[in-house]
């Protein structure tokens, strides 16, 4: 009798939305905003940028890593505020928006702010940013993972035993001061060290932290954006908003998320071996780290 009453109470609380959640919400890394059967890439990019600006986002930077994709990185005061109150929150200070051509179709997509906030262990779920992006661009569905992950799992995620967590980054360089560290990264990017280029820079208010978006060209073996994405971004809905990679300057240290974490968090279903697998880009994590170290070393 007690068991029946308890079960009934749990069901009632669940239906009211105030009791134990029987199945936590599953999150996926990307949001599909729009699928266009036809259209000109340049025109759609312009339309997307105008919508973002109208929704009070600032365009921090943009680039085309390869012909079929254009990436726009946006931020605003709210995102910077959330980044400022989180350790290494700079990784979440920008959200990535992609326009991708797949055959004759154009896909508009963006990073899922709630997914990324949990992956980066932020002290803010960025749910309002998710609503703001959906209002600006639309929201058809989440994608990028078949089953998705709960917020709790995301906060302790690593791909498999022996692979890095969020708090095990690549330590690229150390300087005497924050100012020197930022100057070195700026100089390395300007010089194209490691085949890298500058996509954006976002300074986090109230703390000595800056995040840089970094393009990687295919002139350096194994680290190029196009090479890596040609191997792993093969599903009908493209995950182009995985790019670009980041360098984070925090105080006098220069970091990057280790590539085995940074790639896996956006492609959690990627197989270890076989066609379109991690095995096919086995050289990439070390090559990416080498490229970013070259940038962090300065000109």
Closest alpha carbon to 144 in 268, 230, 232, 275: 268
Q: Is residue 299 very low, low, confident or very high in pLDDT (cuts 50, 70, 90)?
A: confident
- The reply to whether 15 falls in a domain is no
Unique residue bearing structure tokens 């669940």: 14
Q: Is residue 218 very low, low, confident or very high in pLDDT (cuts 50, 70, 90)?
A: confident
Buried b / exposed e over 4-21, threshold 16 CB at 10 Å, is eeeeeeeeeeeeeeeeee
Please say whether the beta carbons of 285 and 222 come within 8 A. Answer: no
Q: Which residues, listed in sequence order, are joined to residue 202 by a DSSP beta bridge?
A: 211
Task: State how far the Cα of 39 lies from the Cα of 183, in Å rounded to an integer.
Answer: 41
CA angle, residues 272, 275, 278, in degrees to nearest 5: 30
Over residues 23-42, mean pLDDT: 91
| Strand arrangement, sheet containing 69-75 | 58-66, 69-75, 95-102, 105-111, 30-36, 141-143
> 248 pLDDT exceeds 90?
yes
Give helix then strand counts, H and E, for the chain. 10, 11
Query: Which pairs with CB-CB distance under 8 Å and at least 24 residues apart come from 70-74?
Result: 70/41, 70/45, 70/98, 70/99, 70/100, 71/96, 71/97, 71/98, 71/199, 71/240, 71/241, 71/243, 71/244, 72/45, 72/48, 72/96, 72/97, 72/98, 72/99, 73/97, 73/199, 73/200, 73/213, 73/244
Over residues 4-33, mean pLDDT: 59
- The reply to whether 126 falls in a domain is yes
- The reply to whether 140 falls in a domain is yes
Q: Is 228 left (phi over 0), alpha (psi -120 to 50) or beta?
A: alpha
Q: How confident is the model at residue 18, as a pLDDT?
A: 42
> 10 pLDDT exceeds 70?
no
Q: Please give the residue that has the higher pLDDT: either 3 or 172.
A: 172
Please say whether the beta carbons of 277 and 264 come within 8 A. Answer: no
> 19 pLDDT exceeds 60?
no
Range of the domain at 122: 22-296
The pLDDT tens digits of the residues spanning 174-217 come to 999 999 999 999 999 999 999 999 999 999 999 999 999 999 99
- The reply to whether 78 falls in a domain is yes
Please say whether the beta carbons of 198 and 63 come within 8 A. Answer: no
Tokens encoding 89? 């929150």
pTM: 0.90
Q: How confident is the model at residue 39, as a pLDDT?
A: 86
Percent of the chain with pLDDT over 70: 92
Query: How high is the mean pLDDT of the chain?
Result: 92
Over residues 111-137, mean pLDDT: 98
CB atoms within 10 A of CB 31: 27
- The reply to whether 6 falls in a domain is no
Please say whether the beta carbons of 180 and 252 come within 8 A. Answer: yes
- State whether residue 193 is helix, strand or coil: helix
Domain CATH number, residue 266: 3.30.310.70
The pLDDT tens digits of the residues spanning 46-74 come to 999 999 999 999 999 999 999 999 999 99
- The reply to whether 11 falls in a domain is no
CA atoms within 13 A on the CB side of 271: 9
Closest alpha carbon to 184 in 166, 220, 210, 215: 210
- The reply to whether 9 falls in a domain is no
**What is the domain count for the chain?**
1
- The reply to whether 291 falls in a domain is yes
């Amino acid at each position: 009798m007690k068991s029946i009453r308890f079960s009934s109470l749990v069901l009632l609380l669940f239906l009211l939305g105030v009791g134990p959640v029987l199945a936590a919400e599953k999150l996926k890394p990307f949001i599909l905003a729009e699928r266009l059967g036809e259209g000109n890439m340049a025109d759609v990019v312009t339309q997307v940028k105008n919508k973002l600006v109208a929704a009070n986002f600032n365009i921090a930077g943009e680039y085309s890593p390869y012909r079929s994709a254009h990436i726009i990185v946006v931020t605003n005061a709210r995102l910077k505020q959330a980044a400022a109150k989180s350790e290494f929150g700079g990784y979440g200070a920008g959200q990535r928006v992609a326009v991708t051509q797949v055959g004759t179709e154009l896909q508009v997509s963006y990073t899922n702010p709630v997914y990324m906030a949990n992956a980066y262990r932020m002290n803010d779920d960025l749910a309002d940013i998710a609503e703001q992006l959906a209002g600006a661009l639309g929201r058809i569905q989440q994608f990028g993972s078949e089953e998705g992950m709960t917020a709790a799992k995301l906060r302790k995620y690593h791909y498999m035993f022996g692979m890095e967590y969020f708090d095990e980054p690549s330590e690229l360089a150390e300087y005497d001061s924050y100012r020197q560290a930022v100057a070195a990264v700026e100089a390395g990017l300007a010089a194209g060290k490691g085949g890298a280029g500058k996509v954006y820079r976002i300074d986090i208010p109230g703390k000595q932290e800056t995040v840089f978006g970094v393009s990687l060209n295919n002139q350096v073996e194994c680290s190029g954006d196009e090479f890596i994405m040609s191997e792993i971004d093969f599903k009908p809905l493209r995950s182009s908003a995985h790019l670009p990679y980041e360098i984070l300057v925090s105080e006098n240290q220069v970091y990057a998320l280790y590539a085995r974490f940074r790639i896996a968090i956006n492609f959690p279903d990627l197989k270890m071996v076989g066609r379109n697998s991690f095995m096919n880009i086995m050289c990439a994590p070390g090559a990416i780290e080498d490229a970013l170290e070259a940038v962090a070393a300065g000109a």
